[in-house]
Structure 1
Amino acid sequence: MFTSILRTIVPALWGSFIAWAIGLLPVLEPHREALLEYGTPLSAIIAAVLIASWYAFWRWLEPRLPDWLTRAVLGSAKAPVYEGKHAAK
């Protein structure tokens, strides 16, 4: 269970950080007012897309990575294991 939590939280933190960093790009400064007019819903959607993209990219790349890098970007080098009650019958 702990592995699945780590592999949810760590990519979410990375995606959120990337969304924040993108907001600091000077090229977006002239468009800041227009972007702020869309408000929170647009920010939430952009953050969700970045988090999902981050996770999907690194899951695709995971078999080719050393364990230390997988831990850094996904939170754990082990895939989560769900026992018993989640098995299909």
Structure 2
Amino acid sequence: MSTTITDERTALSDRAVATLRTATPTLWGLLVTALLGVLAGRLPDELYATVERVLDSDVLLLLVVTLVVTAWYWLWRRLEDHVPLWLVRLVLGSARTPSYAPVTADGTAVITSVAAGAGYEVAEVSDAKTEVADLLGTDYGGYDDPPRVDSIEAADRIVERLIATGWRPTG
């Protein structure tokens, strides 16, 4: 397979990729189910009667569609590394799988990076610094009287030191 270079301006977001990779197999599942309904007329009479009962029942029809969609997705996920990218896009909606942030057992997102653009910091770090500054407040100042640093600067130093030792803020 060839390597594709994606321009950041035209790249799909993880949300868009996830939506495509959900909707496309669903549409294929509906199409395959409809095709099975059309082909049912060519089955032997006894088998056709069974298929007709299934297709006439809303609950059973939904079950069949769900099973076809699941089988479609499972099959193509197994084949996706062995077929051309255009085919993967056709059958799954995107050749890229979305990436999801890791979560803890209770569903809390795990922050794996506190990197931000130059001159900025991620919201979790900024919030942590604000909380530390609020705790320091005027009661503690910069730990001495008169304080040599204000509470905001002290909070910045404390949180930066925590980050350097491996601490990561949580939401």
Return 5+ residue gaps in structure 1 as ranges: none
- CA deviations 1:37-66 (Å, max 9, x no partner) are 5x1000000000000000000000011111
Larger Rg over CA atoms: 2
Q: Which has the higher helix share?
A: 1
Runs (4+) of structure 1 moved beyond 3 Å?
32-37, 86-89
More RCO (CA 8 Å, sep 6+)? 1
Paired residues in the alignment total 86
Return 5+ residue gaps in structure 2 as ranges: 1-14, 105-109, 111-171
RMSD, aligned α-carbons: 2.0
2:33 is aligned, of 8, 14, 19, to 19
Q: Distance in 2 between matches of 1:36 and 1:24?
A: 11
SS of the equivalent of 2:17 reads helix
1:35 is aligned, of 36, 54, 60, to 54
Give TM-score scaled by structure 2 length.
0.46
State the shift of 1:87 in Å.
3.6
Change (3 A) 1:70 1:28: farther
